[in-house]
């Protein structure tokens, strides 16, 4: 079912749901405390996720180390929720959720300190989608983008044949003139470079550009 919903709508629904939860929490906190709303929300969360796990075939096998990391994450979640609701309670939904929105900054700092990740300008800029990336200017654009530090998603009819290997390179086979392919390729990217090649005649150039524009 989820695969029929555009990822942009899923992301938008998540943002709207988070905004609505902040408003609902602020209303409820007029008559209760941050600890109570945290307890209720965590309980509902656990029940809902348990039902989802049962309906989707259970929990896949994981190692004890991975299970430990997930347990740590789960332990932190109630604390995070408590702090979130406390912020909403004491300074309001607008300021509380805005300050909580600064978490990517702290997440980036912790990733640099503990995971050894690099915060170069290309990394901060995000993932670049390169269309028509399997040969010629396209593959050279991929090579240059990787060289300067970008994460790259390469879209082409034969992207898997690109003779470049890098952990930051994602190869995606598909038709750049197909709308569903483009929507799938755009998900999670921050910039697009279009390197589709067409025959060097004015008519073909205009036609090719229009076709790609219709796909997007």
Which tens digits make up the pLDDT trace of 127-149?
A: 889 998 888 888 999 999 888 88
The rounded mean pLDDT for the chain is 80
Same domain, residue pair 209 and 142: yes
Are residues 93 and 11 located together in one domain of the fold? yes
pLDDT, tens only, 12-56: 788 888 788 888 888 888 888 999 999 998 899 889 888 888 888
Write down the pLDDT at residue 4. Answer: 64
139 shares its domain with 206: yes
Residue 92 has pLDDT above 50, yes or no: yes
- Examine residue 111 and state whether it is found in any structural domain, yes or no: no
Query: Residue 192: inside a domain, yes or no?
Result: yes
Residue 113 covered by a domain: no
Domain boundary among 49, 67, 101: 101
207/145 same-domain check: yes
Domain-located, residue 115: no
Predicted pLDDT at 206: 56
pTM over cut 0.75: no
Q: Is residue 107 part of a domain?
A: no
Q: Kindly state whether residue 108 falls inside one of the protein's structural domains.
A: no
What pLDDT sits at residue 112?
76
Percent of the chain with pLDDT over 70: 83
Q: Are residues 83 and 144 in the same domain?
A: no
pLDDT confidence of residue 214: 55
Both 202 and 168 in one domain: the answer is yes
pLDDT of residue 49: 85
Task: Say what the pLDDT of residue 168 is.
Answer: 86
Question: What total number of domains does the chain contain?
Answer: 2
Q: What is the percentage of the chain residues whose pLDDT exceeds 90?
A: 8
Q: How far apart are CA 121 and CA 115, in angstroms?
A: 18
Residue 141's CATH number: 3.40.50.720
| Residue 14 belongs to domain spanning | 2-101
In a domain, 112, yes or no: no
Residues 8 and 94 in one domain: yes
Domain boundary among 72, 101, 130: 101
137 shares a domain with 89: no
Q: Which has more pLDDT, 210 or 161?
A: 161
Whether 3 shows a pLDDT value over 70: the answer reads no
Confidence band (pLDDT; 50, 70, 90) for 154?
Answer: very high
> Reduced to 3 states, what is the DSSP secondary structure of residue 126?
coil
Cα–Cα dist 130/152, whole Å: 7
**Long-range pairs of 159-168 with CB within 8 A, sequence gap ≥ 24:** 159/133, 159/134, 161/134, 162/133, 162/134, 164/139
pLDDT in the model for residue 1: 46
Is the domain of 95 the same as that of 125? no
Please state, in angstroms and rounded to a whole number, the distance separating the CA atoms of residues 51 and 49. Answer: 5
């Amino acid at each position: 079912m989820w695969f029929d919903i555009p990822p942009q709508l899923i992301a938008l629904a998540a943002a709207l749901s988070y905004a609505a939860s902040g408003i609902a929490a602020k209303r409820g906190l007029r008559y209760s405390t941050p600890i109570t709303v945290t307890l209720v929300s965590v309980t509902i969360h656990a029940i809902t996720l348990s039902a989802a796990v049962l309906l989707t075939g259970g929990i896949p096998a994981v190692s004890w180390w991975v299970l430990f990391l997930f347990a740590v994450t789960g332990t932190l979640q109630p604390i995070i929720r408590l702090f979130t609701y406390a912020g909403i309670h004491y300074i309001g939904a607008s300021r509380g959720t805005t300050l909580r929105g600064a978490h990517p900054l702290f997440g980036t700092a912790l990733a640099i300190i503990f995971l050894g990740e690099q915060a170069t300008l290309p990394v901060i800029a995000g993932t670049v989608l390169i269309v028509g990336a399997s040969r010629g200017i396209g593959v050279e654009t991929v090579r240059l983008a990787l060289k300067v530090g970008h994460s790259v998603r390469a879209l082409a009819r034969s992207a898997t044949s690109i003779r470049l290997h890098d952990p930051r390179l994602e190869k995606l086979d598909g038709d750049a003139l197909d709308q569903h392919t483009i929507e799938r390729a755009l998900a999670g990217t921050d910039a697009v470079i279009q390197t589709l090649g067409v025959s060097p005649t004015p008519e073909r150039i205009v036609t090719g550009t229009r076709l790609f524009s219709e796909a997007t």
